[in-house]
Structure 1
Amino acid sequence: MPLEVFAFKNNEKVLRRSSSGGGFTEIIKIIFRLYPKNEIVVYGAAFDKNLNVKHMSANSVDECLKFNGSKYVQSNLKGVFEDIITNLKQGKLVVFSGTPCQHKALTNLIHNKEIDDTNLIRIDIICHGTPKPEIWSDYVQWLEMKNKSKLIDFSFRYKGCKKTYSSYAKFENGKEKINSFDIKMFNRLFLRRLILTEKCFKCEFAKIERITDITLGDFWGIEKIMPDFSKDNGVSEILVNTAKGKYIIESIKKFNRKNADIRLEQCLTNEYIKYQNNLNQPTEKPVDYDNFKIEYKNNGIEFVMKKYAGYTLKGKIKDFVKGIGR
């Protein structure tokens, strides 16, 4: 079990660019404040110029802004673990943010090479599962074809729309789309669990025990567990797993005692666990997963979007009518 669990909400500016409550941003900010004499390197998932999801490094709080927002794609880790080991050997403070399985791979490598990990801060997420990058790449190409322009920005959890899983896209020709029918398709397939990597359905890390210092997620069910804590614009759930993690979170409290724009409050019940499916068990494999996999391979992205995500004229009309009713 975690040492402690907290609900966290950042200021409105940070909330707007965060998928949840902006907990990651504040943790990074405090780490740079706590270790001013250290050379700090932070690793997290970000888009490259072609919107491929890769783990990249950052050396300042501002540079870490590229890590904000959920990326529902398996990230490319090429060369990252080797860089982390080099930085640790040089005495740098390293922060690695990733999925639980990525942390396990890094931990195994560090132990096998007998690297001192005292200066490593580990942050993982409550993971639902990760789609393969090939599917994301096909979807991006499809969007660019439909909109006749290169896709230059995308958000899987856009805060400018009331729905929790709203999408945003920006194209090179200046066109912007918010939760339009074509922009919704990737999230629909993701939420139906059809594009997750198959091994995610047997994930050994979908449990309350963690190997990281801090675990982050959406604080689902907070309106029932902590009804006085506003859920507007998202709330981060922070699981403090180690003494190193506790020092960071306690420092957030210390440095923000007089900051009314930031709220950090301990959850004093274990009720939160029942609202976090992936702290209890792996994501369940959909009954039509195998058929989807075959039909995607044989017929491509548009075919499966029509069959499994309702990308049809009938589906578009239904979506439009539903939107009017909201």
Structure 2
Amino acid sequence: MNNSAIEVIGYDKCTGCYGCLNNCPVKGAIEFNKTEEGFYKPFLTEKCIQCGMCKKGCPVIKKVNSNLEENLEVYSCWSKDEEIVKNSSSGGIFSELAKEYLANGDIVFGAKWQDGEIVHCGISKLEELKELQKSKYLQSKVETSYLEVKKHLNAGKRVLFVGTPCQIAALNTIVNHENLVTVDLICHGIPSYSAYEKYIRENFNLNIKNVTVDFRNKDTGWENYNLTFKNKDQIIIKNNHRKDLWFRGFLTDTYLNKPCYNCEFRTLPRFSDITLGDFWGVPVEVKNSAGTSVVTINSKKGKELFVKISSNLEVKDVKWETALKGNPCLYNYKMDSSRREGFYKDFSDLSFEDLQKKHFPFPNKYIFFIRRVLSFVKTRVLRVIRGA
């Protein structure tokens, strides 16, 4: 008898990456269902034959990473195409990578909205790219995407797969092919669907199936972005990211998936060929105020692809330490989970607004103002020093 992957690692360590499902030889033996806390996790059915194959698809158990730290390169980048930057969360690097594949009839996998939730899918046409653009701060349902990647590769297609670090690590356990390039994102952690559903229901009186969110609307700037909630194509409300109640809970790490607090995939070397993210804290001399991406090249395959698209980019060399300072989730970052237990204990009894006031209140506005002033003064002083 073989224990299953979930029996070996337990739900507290399960990231919900879908690796076990994609490596299971028996259709229907594993089902992914939403837990009470609001995360999709694997559950065994009576069809399970206890073969143990799911363990070979679980990146918590089987880590596959052939990258070397010596191949690491770090850049501050943005697309030269202003329209791409405008329609992207940061500097538009994902879109430039995707264009290189789609222009040649190849396949790009990423995350899109479907019935109010996030799903992974593959696209082959440039006009489909818009669905995969922009950050989506909810768990993506991968379903059988890793197997679909394998099918495309076996059919002679090149594949670009974009996902979270744990999703890329899971894909690595199932697919190893020279024509697969993986891109992971600097991931802050996966927030709860249950918290999101409660927030949508109580604030807008809507089912999440009717709602999509632009989590990174840049109408007011890349660094001062809004969350734009829509019912179909109609805007419900725009909330500044510093004032939105749900986003406050996300940023304060109140209702993330348990393994996110001490993620095993924030490593060096990274598991992907290329890593992308917003370049928070980017030095002014290598910054595009409309959106700047931090890019780490983690492998030779990643380097080859980056060189192919570099003529479409503004590229600035930066040091690893500079990127890490404003983006700690790049490497070995541990989060404080102290709010989480109390939040879920009160979840059923309190409204979302009362949960927010109790477990992740906004800072005192006067203290917040003073901190903003001090930050502004510090920035101005540093600019003077650098210019001296």
Q: TM-score range by the shorter chain?
A: 0.7 to 0.9
Equivalent residue number for residue 16 of structure 1: 86
In the superposition, the TM-score normalised over structure 1's length comes to 0.81
Please state how far the C-alpha of 1:228 moved relative to its aligned partner.
2.0
Q: Which range moved further: 193-202 or 60-69?
A: 60-69
2:297 to 225, 232, 240: 240
> Structure 2 matches for 1:1-326, cutoff 5 A?
1=69, 2-10=71-79, 11-33=81-103, 36=104, 39-48=105-114, 50-110=115-175, 116-145=176-205, 151-162=210-221, 163-172=223-232, 174-179=234-239, 184-223=244-283, 227-253=284-310, 255-256=311-312, 262-267=313-318, 270-299=321-350, 301-310=352-361
**TM superposition outliers: structure 1 runs of 4+ over 6 Å:** 180-183
Structure 1 unaligned blocks of 5 or more: 111-115, 257-261
8 A Cα contact 1:144 1:151, kept in partner: no
Query: Counterpart amino acid of 1:89?
Result: N
Q: Partners in 2 of 1:238 and 1:81 — Cα distance? A: 24
Gaps of 5+ in 2: 1-68, 374-388
- Whole-Å separation in 2 of the counterparts to 1:5 and 1:182: 29
Provide the alpha-carbon RMSD of the alignment: 3.1
> Structure 1 residues 174 and 45, CA, compared in 2 at 3 Å: closer, same or farther?
closer
Cα drift, residue 218 of structure 1: 1.3
Contact conserved, 2:74 with 2:294, CA < 8 A, in 1? yes
Query: Cα–Cα, structure 1 residues 288 and 268, in superposed 2: closer, same or farther, change >3 Å?
Result: closer
Q: Is this contact kept in 2: 1:149–1:171, CA < 8 A?
A: no
Q: Is the 8 A contact 1:21 1:234 kept in 2?
A: yes
SS for the counterpart of 1:179 is strand
Deviation per residue, 1:116-171 (Å, 9 max, x gap): 5122110001111111333323333334307x998443111210124535211123
CA contact (8 A) 2:166 2:265 kept: yes
Letter in 1 for 2:75: F
CA distance in 1: counterparts of 2:119 and 2:281, whole angstroms: 31
Distance 2:320 2:187 in 1: 22
Q: Residues of 1 paired with 2:150 and 2:179: CA distance?
A: 11
Structure 2 distance, partners of 1:94, 1:199, is 28
- CA spacing shift, 1:173–1:275, aligned 2, 3 Å: closer
Corresponding residue for residue 377 of structure 2: none
TM-score by length of 2: 0.69
Is this contact kept in 1: 2:102–2:108, CA < 8 A?
Answer: no
For structure 1, which segment, 9-18 or 39-48, has the greater mean C-alpha deviation from structure 2 after superposition? Answer: 9-18
| Residue identity opposite 2:131 in structure 1 | K
CA distance in 2, matches of 1:269, 1:43: 28
2:224 alignment partner, SS class: coil
Q: What is the Cα deviation at residue 298 of structure 1?
A: 4.3
Q: Residue type of the partner of 2:94?
A: F
Give the deviation of 1:63 after TM superposition.
Answer: 0.9
Q: Report the Cα distance in structure 1 between the residues aligned to 2:120 and 2:137, rounded to whole angstroms.
A: 13
Describe the shift of the 1:281–1:165 C-alpha distance in structure 2 as closer, same or farther (beyond 3 A).
farther
In structure 2, the CA distance between the partners of 1:78 and 1:288, relative to structure 1 (3 Å rule), is same
* Aligned equivalents of 1:80, 1:125: Cα separation in 2: 17
Q: 1:174 to 1:73 in 2, by over 3 A?
A: closer
Please give the alpha-carbon distance, in whole angstroms, between the structure 1 residues aligned to 2:87 and 2:193.
23
For residue 79 of structure 1, report the CA deviation from its aligned partner: 1.9
| Distance change >3 Å, CA 297–CA 149, structure 1 → 2 | closer
Paired residue secondary structure (1:57): strand
- Report if aligned partners of 2:227, 2:241 keep a CA contact under 8 Å in 1: no
Q: Please give the alpha-carbon distance, in whole angstroms, between the structure 2 residues aligned to 1:156 and 1:248.
A: 28
Distance 1:166 1:173 in 2: 17
- Separation in 2, partners of 1:22, 1:248: 15
**SS at 2:217 equivalent:** coil
Work out the percentage of aligned pairs sharing the same amino acid. Answer: 28
